[in-house]
Amino acid sequence: MNTNRVILLITIIVLVLLGCNSPLYNDEEPTYSIIPNPVSVKVQDGNFSLNNSTQILALGKDVLPLAKMFADELNNFIGIDLKVIEKNVRYSKNTIIFKIDTASLGILGPEGYKLQVTPKKIIVLAPKSQGLFYGFQSLLQLLPINNNSSNCKFSNKEIDRNEWKIPCLDILDYPRFEWRGLMLDVSRHFFSKEFVKQYIDELSKYKFNIFHLHLSDDQGWRIQINSFPRLTEIGAWRVPRMGKWWSFQPPQPNEKATYGGFYTKDDIKEIVQYAQERFVTVVPEIDVPGHSLAAIAAYPHLSCTKEDYKVNPGSRFYGVDNNTLCVGQETTFEFLDKVFSEVADLFPSEYIHVGGDECFKDFWETCNFCMKRMEENGLSNTDELQSYLIKRVEVILKKKGKKLIGWDEILEGGLSPEATVMSWRGIDGGIKAAKMGHHVIMTPNYHTYLDLYQGDHIIEPETYSLLRLENCYNFDLVPPNVNEEYILGGQGNLWTESVPNSRHAEYMTWPRALALSEVFWSPNEKREWNDFIRRMEVRFNYFDKNEINYARSVFDAIISGIKGTDDSLKVKLRTEISGLDIHYTFDETNPDKFSPKYEGIPLYIPKGASQIKVRTYRNNQPVGNQINCPLNMLDQRIEK
């Protein structure tokens, strides 16, 4: 063997040995856990070590505030206070660079970014600040959460407590849809300005860019309107109740309305600005002509019946109290003009949501004004009367330079010319509107309603219906045969009839909103359920660290009934996620890992058993909640 060959051989041996000791990254061993999953990630060998002497460099117009925000986040997150510099100095190593590169607009689009991590430096590059913001969110998600390798593949010996290792990689990323929304209903229950800001901050981390604020409903009016002060003096307050929504006792004579609240104009400005700093547009909704009892309680002349009603506390009232604006009287349109004009002045959003859902129209049929309006305008039914109102609201909004959005009921009596439709009763309204050439936001209740149960109702706080995490995730916003161009995007909606406080709002939001963020942002080929669950569990560490409430329902067993060929009812068990064992008992004892394990074969019910108790385990540790299911409930759980 000549000398050259010996050197070559030694080099190869050294390289192989080095390779064994350094972290090896490949597609099979994911080293990152970003939600929503980026469009393209190329993992490289090695890592960048973030430490006290890392500096942050802001390059380009308006980049400094963002770089400072990143430094603050980093400080909050890992307690490291990095210097932010702006000068275009020579940067050689240990630098995180934020750079605007307008030339990349063609490849990345207005919200896209590139993120490159090398051992020497990290570069976040985007054509606009919004992309830089998303790049920095992805970068934050690459950090180990407790510096104990919880989301990066580093062995313990590689961890220095003063150094945070970020895997080397190249990310190219941009959203699939431009409307990535979450809605919070602040009417049924009121949420403080502080919580609203915190909620916006959290949703912006997953690249949501729309925060839809449902500001008015039968149970409370939540925004100061100078032209109509009673909206907040009276309309923002209801009698306090707890228990089961829709079964609450109606307001009693002389009972004080002490539950509620509203946002002043200054509060709204503060919320809007806070959201803007996070590239979130706040879209206000004033829900008309139905769902208007709070406004009518404040100004009884707005309804056909003109009676005095109380703001509803969550008791049944439909058909008794009139929660619908009268369309026959011009005073209603004077009201709408002033309210929507003040709202338009407060919110920079190009869209304003006008509701239009679930309007109870019976009172119109016995109202002389409404009947006259229909006659004079050749309207043949009350759906068309609602459309008449929505069309006039569209004109009001247009004068203010705003576009109208409504729930899909606005299709029923004829769509106003430029309306955008939010399809909530499934996707049919969305399909119809898109085929008519209107823009659509998909929010079908069975994929996006965050107020529904997310696990077994036996152990979850009271609400109704069911939307499991898997059904949030397995959703494509674009139905077959619909032109994607018309689908602006999607939105998760958190109605708050059964959400009495902010901790529970978080519980209902997370992790389902994580799943939706990926549906709205990532290309379909980058969506994979098992990998999403892996990444979601990393976010759970983040939620724990930051004391954000979230549901672990996805770890629970799912209990259903199944009819055998002999017509006997058997119990079928499954889990939403793979890799869990389900242990069960029929004998009233609480199951543990020594109890029988479900092997995928439906279970005969032992004679005399009254309930099945189940609990999930992973690696012999309990991970789910115990569910005790009475067997007489099984026939309501037959799998279809």
Catalytic site residue from 101, 111, 185, 217: 217
For residue 357, the partner it binds in Zn ion, ligand ACM, none, with Cβ less than 5 to 8 A by kind, is: ligand ACM
End-to-end C-alpha distance for the chain, whole angstroms? 73
Tokens of 405: 């959005």
Catalytic site residue from 201, 358, 384, 476: 358
- Of 284, 328, 413, 489, the one binding Zn ion (CB under 5 A) is 328
How far apart are CB 382 and Zn ion at their closest, in Å?
Answer: 10
Query: Which has the closest alpha carbon to 425: 482, 355, 357?
Result: 357
* 357 scored as a contact of ligand ACM (CB under 6 A): yes
Polymer length of the chain: 640
Instruction: Please tell me the chain's helix, strand, coil percentages from 3-state DSSP, rounded to the nearest 5.
Output: 35, 25, 45
Interface size with ligand ACM, residues (CB under 6 A): 4
For residues 463-481, one letter each, b for 16 or more C-beta atoms within 10 angstroms of the residue's C-beta and e for the rest, the string is: beeebbbbbbbebebbbee
- Of 358, 412, 470, 476, the one binding ligand ACM (CB under 6 A) is 358
* 407 scored as a contact of ligand ACM (CB under 6 A): yes
CB of 312 closer than 8 Å to CB of 237: no
* 424 scored as a contact of ligand ACM (CB under 6 A): yes
Tell me whether residue 358 is one of the annotated catalytic residues. Answer: yes
The smaller minimum CB distance to Zn ion, of residues 361 and 534, is found at 361
Q: How far, in Å, are 78, 231, 310, 343 from residue 299 at the CA level?
A: 52, 8, 11, 18
The smaller minimum CB distance to ligand ACM, of residues 335 and 424, is found at 424
* 326 scored as a contact of Zn ion (CB under 5 A): yes
How far apart are CB 259 and ligand ACM at their closest, in Å?
Answer: 22
Query: Tokens 């006008």 belong to which residue?
Result: 354
Hey, CA dihedral for 37, 40, 44, 50, is it positive or negative?
negative
Query: Which has the closest alpha carbon to 126: 58, 181, 176?
Result: 58
* 367 scored as a contact of Zn ion (CB under 5 A): yes
**What are the contacts of 472-478 at 24+ separation with CB within 8 A?**
472/447, 472/448, 472/512, 472/515, 472/516, 472/519, 473/515, 473/518, 473/519, 473/527, 473/529, 473/532, 474/529, 475/444, 475/447, 475/448, 475/516, 475/519, 476/519, 476/524, 477/177, 477/442, 477/519, 477/520
* 370 scored as a contact of Zn ion (CB under 5 A): yes
Tell me whether residue 287 is one of the annotated catalytic residues. Answer: no
Interface size with Zn ion, residues (CB under 5 A): 6
For residue 326, the partner it binds in Zn ion, ligand ACM, none, with Cβ less than 5 to 8 A by kind, is: Zn ion
The smaller minimum CB distance to Zn ion, of residues 369 and 529, is found at 369
- C-alpha–C-alpha distance, residues 194 and 541, integer Å: 23
- What is residue 186's three-state secondary structure? coil
For residue 407, the partner it binds in ligand ACM, Zn ion, none, with Cβ less than 5 to 8 A by kind, is: ligand ACM
Hey, CA dihedral for 523, 529, 531, 532, is it positive or negative?
positive
The smaller minimum CB distance to Zn ion, of residues 204 and 322, is found at 322
For residues 231-266, one letter each, b for 16 or more C-beta atoms within 10 angstroms of the residue's C-beta and e for the rest, the string is: bbebbbbbbebeeebeebebbeeeeebebbbbbeee
Q: With CB under 5 A as the contact rule, which of the stretches 140-148, 278-286, 326-334, 464-472 interacts with Zn ion?
A: 326-334
How far apart are CB 442 and ligand ACM at their closest, in Å?
Answer: 13
CB of 225 closer than 8 Å to CB of 234: no
Tell me whether residue 531 is one of the annotated catalytic residues. Answer: no
The smaller minimum CB distance to ligand ACM, of residues 309 and 424, is found at 424
Tokens of 117: 């991590």
CA 15 to chain CA mean position, Å: 47
Cβ atoms within 10 Å of 201's Cβ, excluding its own: 15
How far apart are CB 480 and ligand ACM at their closest, in Å?
Answer: 25
How far apart are CB 323 and ligand ACM at their closest, in Å?
Answer: 13
428 phi, psi to nearest 5 deg: -60, -40
Q: With CB under 5 A as the contact rule, which of the stretches 89-97, 370-378, 487-495, 616-624 interacts with Zn ion?
A: 370-378
For residue 358, the partner it binds in ligand ACM, Zn ion, none, with Cβ less than 5 to 8 A by kind, is: ligand ACM
Cβ atoms within 10 Å of 93's Cβ, excluding its own: 12
- C-alpha–C-alpha distance, residues 319 and 327, integer Å: 17
Binding mask 304-323 for Zn ion (x = CB under 5 A): x-------------------
How far apart are CB 412 and Zn ion at their closest, in Å?
Answer: 18
The smaller minimum CB distance to Zn ion, of residues 251 and 328, is found at 328
Secondary structure (DSSP) of 339-380: HHHHHHHH---SEEEEE--S---HHHHT-HHHHHHHHHTT--
How far apart are CB 443 and ligand ACM at their closest, in Å?
Answer: 8
* 245 scored as a contact of ligand ACM (CB under 6 A): no
Taking the CA atoms of residue 304, residue 305, residue 309 and residue 312 in that order, the dihedral angle to the nearest 10 degrees is -50
How far apart are CB 355 and ligand ACM at their closest, in Å?
Answer: 8
- Of 91, 195, 369, 446, the one binding Zn ion (CB under 5 A) is 369
How far apart are CB 379 and Zn ion at their closest, in Å?
Answer: 13
* 296 scored as a contact of Zn ion (CB under 5 A): no
Catalytic site residue from 291, 353, 504, 583: 291
The smaller minimum CB distance to ligand ACM, of residues 287 and 456, is found at 287
The smaller minimum CB distance to ligand ACM, of residues 337 and 357, is found at 357
For residue 424, the partner it binds in ligand ACM, Zn ion, none, with Cβ less than 5 to 8 A by kind, is: ligand ACM
Interface residues with Zn ion (CB under 5 A) are 304, 326, 328, 367, 369-370
**What residues are labeled active site?**
217, 291, 358
Interface residues with ligand ACM (CB under 6 A) are 357-358, 407, 424
